[in-house]
Amino acid sequence: MISNEYYSQDIHGPFELYDIGDFDLEQGGTIPNCKLAYNTLGNLNSAKDNAILVTTWYSGTTKIMEQIYIGEDHALDPQKHFIILINQIGSGLSSSPHNSPAPYGMSNFPDVRIGDDVRAQHKLITEKFGIEKLALVFGASMGGQQVWEWAVRYPDMVQRIAPIAITAKNTPHAFIFADTLNEALISDPNWNGGNYKASSDVKVGLFRQARLWAVMGLNPEFYRQEYWRNMNFSSAEDFISGFLEAYYEPLDPNNLLCMAWKWQRGDASRNTGGNLQEALGRIRTKTLVMGFTGDMFVPQTDLEFEQKMIANSELRMIDTICGHFALFALEPEYMPQIDKNLEDLLSSSV
Amino acid sequence: MISNEYYSQDIHGPFELYDIGDFDLEQGGTIPNCKLAYNTLGNLNSAKDNAILVTTWYSGTTKIMEQIYIGEDHALDPQKHFIILINQIGSGLSSSPHNSPAPYGMSNFPDVRIGDDVRAQHKLITEKFGIEKLALVFGASMGGQQVWEWAVRYPDMVQRIAPIAITAKNTPHAFIFADTLNEALISDPNWNGGNYKASSDVKVGLFRQARLWAVMGLNPEFYRQEYWRNMNFSSAEDFISGFLEAYYEPLDPNNLLCMAWKWQRGDASRNTGGNLQEALGRIRTKTLVMGFTGDMFVPQTDLEFEQKMIANSELRMIDTICGHFALFALEPEYMPQIDKNLEDLLSSSV
């Protein structure tokens, strides 16, 4: 356990902690007094049918989801919906390597799976709020892996899902890419087997990871059109330093490794003995898959391959120049497309 | 200077060495007694108008060009053409960091530019063979940067060019990608400022680079369709280990850094004060640009952007599942497409 001011109420709050008790993990091992950091916006109606769950991506917390995707001017409007935002295990706000005491903390934190996250979220939602139906489960990238898992694991509880830029079963290419992200961290000369004293000790590795994201999170067209100018950066290098390195610098490397392990092995077909067709066939939920044009590691072909196996489903591509990092809403044209799609989905009968 | 059995006549021969003397570089500095390793196939006819120049890519030598692209069953047929294959400076066969004596060797090897390569090749071709016209200059990836440079620098000497999967001016995205390749090497704990005793000391870095190529050299579709099965590998991991790591393992890291520096800054518009339109406007050569579908860092849009500035030009996309590494001819459908395009080009009047 080490302190890291980045994962604080000041920066990511307000959030509450819900203790789900000692939590046994699919891969073996237990997180004692596992805590989920969550936040809610809006009010649960008396029918308890206006609840929307929002999950978090690799490296992100609920704060960025709230800032980008939620508000009176968006489809996810707290005036209409009761929005529950839950931080994934390993995110740095919920139980994570950096904030867990010995002997479970840091590099000894157990391996966590997407299924663990979703079981933990299910406990929070049913126990704390007594909610039996979710009008929508929404998440992007790794957050979308949790969305897929919800639909396959609890098909009767979810009415609509909207996973963005992610497949239900992680792809081999994305697995190999994530390996390079991990390698960027553990090759830091101060890595020390994951037992560094402060995340800043591993700054070289974090910056190295940021530069891999510069290649894979964006894409050639983003740089050719110098889209970073619209973000008030003076050069590609300035963008990488001022946006990407700045974003990754405060993060905890063990937290990132925990999330990456989970991301790499994300696979909703674990619920059906590895049969993806059967897993996706289980989904009765109204399903709107969204993808990003020019996404370097979640291309349209991979999304289509799965979407075609889902009965009540549709794939809509979001037109963007930013590739995977479109999810940061770097373009003014981004949220109008997302909102339109989510409005269509939320207004559809189930 | 260190010995490296990989860069030998046994493995890459037969090749000859041509000493162009002390060679002053664009970036400053001199390579004393700079040597170009080259090979020829076929015979120069009496009119000296059947010469074809073939260049080399990052990490590759003329041997692989010969094995893949040249032969009686290919458009580049030594029975018809006099084919001159020249290894780029830094390739490991021509003057390179690993084979240059102190004080010019290893990490002290001077920075080389694509323009230097092409000036050196020009000397070899005019001085040694007395050739004044090249029927075709052909190269892929970094080899294609030399092709572009030939067409802009010596427009009257080149009758046809066929650069594959490369732009005339390197893109910012490819520059950032190449940075990650360099970083993979110099982050090796045994890097020692580039003054290692044997390239195998830096095996960790070389393997790390191989894994970055696994992400960017191939693409998601290659892995989704498990195309590695057609190459007799048993898994994606087996492919990465048996093909990519095996390919990069014997290479010299300083040689790779020398080539990467050159690749990153490859820019035919250096001949026109940075004006790309003017540089490409200089090309009177019949130009056939080829690109690969699904290339992660040389997409069709970047190729089209430049090709449209060239008067007598055409862009043909090669249909492939292998992305950039299509250039290794991993698919049986690859060479027939290349050969057809080159035959069309070679049979066209100039």
- CA A111, CA B347: separation in Å to the nearest integer? 61
Give the other-Cβ count within 10 Å of B315's Cβ.
16
| A301-339 pLDDT, tens digit each | 999 999 999 999 999 999 999 999 999 999 999 999 999
B171–A212 CB contact, under 8 Å? no
Q: Which of residues 82-141 of B touch A (CB under 8 A)?
A: none
CA–CA distance, A114 with A285 (Å, rounded to integer): 19
With a cut of 90, say whether residue B193 has pLDDT above it.
yes
pLDDT at A94 over 90: yes
Q: Which of B10, B66, B17, B57 is nearest to B38 (CA)?
A: B17
Inter-chain residue contact A223 with B176, CB threshold 8 Å: yes
The stretches of A53-187 forming alpha helices (DSSP H) are 62-69, 114-123, 129, 142-153, 172-186
Question: Rg of chain A over CA atoms, in angstroms?
Answer: 19
Res. A187: pLDDT tops 90: yes
**Which has the closest alpha carbon to B87: B50, B34, B49?**
B34
Closest to B263 in 3D by CA, of B122, B127, B139: B139
Using 50, 70 and 90 to split pLDDT, how confident is the model at A350? Answer: confident
Instruction: Quote the pLDDT of residue A120.
Output: 98
Q: What is the DSSP letter of A327?
A: G
Tell which residue, A274, A317, A10, A180, has the closest CA to residue B213. Answer: A180
Residue in chain B lying closest to A174 (CA): B220
Nearest to A223 among B172, B214, B236 (CB): B172
Tens digit of pLDDT for each residue in B281-298?
999 899 999 999 999 999
**What is the predicted pLDDT for the residue at A134?**
98
B314 inside 8 A of chain A by CB:
no
pLDDT (mean) for B176-194: 97
- Check if B12 is active-site: no
Distance CA(A165)–CA(A270), nearest Å, equals: 20
**What does the pLDDT average to over A160-183?**
98
pLDDT per position as a tens digit, A27-41:
999 999 999 999 999
Q: What would the mean pLDDT of A218-228 be, rounded to a whole number? A: 98
Say what the pLDDT of residue A274 is: 98
Mean pLDDT of A168-173: 98
H or E segment to which residue B237 belongs:
helix B236-239
Residue of chain B nearest A181, judged by CA positions: B212
> Which residue of the set A141, A188, A252, A302 is catalytic?
A141
CA A126, A86, A290, B319 torsion: positive or negative? negative
Instruction: Check A173 against B302: CB less than 8 A apart.
Output: no
Instruction: Work out the pLDDT band at B346, boundaries 50, 70, 90.
Output: very high
Please list every residue in chain A whose beta carbon sits closer than 8 Å to the beta carbon of residue B296: 296
Mean pLDDT of the A77-104 span: 98
Residues of B in contact with A216 (CB under 8 A): 215
Q: Which amino acid is at A198?
A: A
Share above pLDDT 70 across residues of chain B, in percent, rounded to a whole number: 100
Mean pLDDT in residue range A106-131: 98
What would be the CATH architecture of the domain defined by B175-258?
Orthogonal Bundle (1.10)
How far apart (Å, rounded) are the C-alpha atoms in residues A249 and B95?
A: 41
> Hey, are the CB atoms on A299 and B220 less than 8 Å from each other?
yes
Amino acid identity at A325: F
Element (H, E) at B139: strand B136-140
Average pLDDT over residues A174-201: 97
Q: Is the pLDDT of residue B350 over 90?
A: no
Are residues A220 and B297, on separate chains, in Cβ contact within 8 Å? yes
**CATH class assigned to B9-171+266-347:** alpha beta
**Cβ B215–A173 below 8 Å, yes or no?**
yes
Mean pLDDT (whole number) for B336-342: 98
The answer to whether A324 is a known catalytic residue is: yes
Whether B344 shows a pLDDT value over 90: the answer reads: yes
User: What are the structure tokens assigned to A94, written together?
Assistant: 């919920």
pLDDT at B211: 98
Average pLDDT over chain B reads: 97
Q: Where do the structural domains in chain B lie, given as residue ranges?
A: 9-171+266-347, 175-258
A187 part of contact set with chain B, CB < 8 Å: yes
Task: Name residue A286's beta-bridge partners.
Answer: A160
Give the residue among A163, A181, A65 at the shortest CA–CA distance from A114: A163
Residue B141 · residue B327 · CB < 8 Å: yes
Q: CB–CB of B176 and A301 under 8 A? A: no
| pLDDT, tens only, B196-224 | 999 999 999 999 999 999 999 999 999 99
Q: Does A244 touch chain B (CB under 8 A)?
A: no
> Residue A280: which pLDDT band, with cuts at 50, 70 and 90?
very high
Contacts of A176 in chain B (CB under 8 A): 211, 214-215, 223, 236, 240
Catalytic residue among B141, B199, B252, B302: B141
Active-site annotation holds for B324 = yes
> Which pTM was predicted?
0.97
Q: Stretch B176-192: mean pLDDT, rounded?
A: 97
ipTM, two decimals, is: 0.96
Cβ proximity of A318 and A334 under 8 Å: yes
CA distance B105 to B275: 34
A224's CB contacts (< 8 A; 6+ apart) are B171, B172, B173, B301, B302, B305
- Which of B169, B171, B176, B301 to mutate to probe the A interface, most A CBs <10 Å? B176
> For all residues of chain A together, what is the average pLDDT?
97
- For A:40-69, CB contacts with B below 8 A are none
Listing from the earlier edge strand, what are the strands of the sheet with A82-86? Answer: A16-19, A35-41, A82-86, A51-54, A136-140, A160-164, A286-292, A313-318
pLDDT digits (tens, 9 = 90+) for B80-107: 999 999 999 999 999 999 999 999 999 9
User: Is the model's pLDDT at B188 over the cut of 90?
Assistant: yes
A58, A14, A45, A51: which is closest to A138 by C-alpha? A51
For residues A12, A14, A20 and A22, what is the CA-based torsion angle, rounded to 10 degrees? 50
Dump pLDDT digits (tens) for B139-163. Answer: 999 999 999 999 999 999 999 999 9
Residues of A within 8 A of B171 (CB-CB) are 220, 223-224
Span B323-337, mean pLDDT?
98
Taking CB atoms and an 8 Å cutoff, what residues of chain B touch A301? 220-221, 224
- A76 interfaces chain B, CB cutoff of 8 Å: no
Name the residue among A20, A87, A17 with its Cα closest to residue A53: A87
Q: Do B224 and A177 touch (CB under 8 A)?
A: no
Q: A301 touching B, CB under 8 A?
A: yes
Quick check: A252 pLDDT over 90? yes
Residue (of A134, A127, A110) closest to A55 by Cα position? A134
User: What six digits make up the tokens of A347?
Assistant: 């207004």
Distance in angstroms (rounded) separating the CA atoms of residues B119 and B112: 11
CA distance A91 to A110: 14
Q: Are the C-beta atoms of B317 and B292 separated by less than 8 Å?
A: yes
Best CA proximity match to B91, nearest among B256, B213, B325, B266: B256
Residue B95, pLDDT score: 98
